[in-house]
Amino acid sequence: MKKPADLRAHLVAYIPDLAIDPERLRIWIEDGTVKTTQSATRHFELRYQLNIAILDFSADPLIIMVLINDWLRLNQPDLIASQAASGYDVQADFMTNSTADLAFTLPLSEIILCQPRDGGGWEFMASPETPSFDDGLLGPDDPIPHLREIWWGGEKLLPDPAIQGSA
């Protein structure tokens, strides 16, 4: 399963405090299913609920939602492809006036391709996702711009030196 580690790396890249104190970022899988058929290729699909908990988060929770949405654009575009997309669940427990425990549940899937190797054996690999964008801002061959800043109501939320440490 590639996506849990990839999402963790994405979140930690933008919020290095989560790498400094990794116990604050918890990621686990529930309700996993393997869907396969009796075929010569041995391809199969993993479906699961990816749970993410971020403890004692002191910045605006919108930052995490924007970061997850950004990751989903490339890694599970069907969750955000249109207004009819299923989306994902969020919960927040406001521990104090300045900190919250955040929880997200993402219904993810991964297609595992299995190809025979020359000389015997099988090569297993995750199938790349096909991004799906309907906002008309990017063409099909345009590169996806890197998320550098997040703003809300004229206030810059990310990068925020308070959550990025000394970086």
Residue reference for tokens 């061959």: 141
- The partner residues of 30 in beta bridges, in order of sequence, read 49
**pLDDT for the residue 91:** 97
Low-confidence ranges of the chain (pLDDT < 70): 129-148, 150-153, 156-167
91 DSSP β-pair partners: 103
Asked if residue 142 lies in contact with residue 135, where contact means CB atoms within 8 angstroms, the answer is no
**CA-CA distance, 32 to 49, in Å (whole number)?**
7
What pLDDT, on a 0 to 100 scale, did the predictor assign at position 69? 93
Token pair listed for 77: 């575009």
Q: Which residues of 21-40 are buried (b: 16+ CB within 10 A; e: fewer)?
A: eeebbebeeeeeeeeeeeee
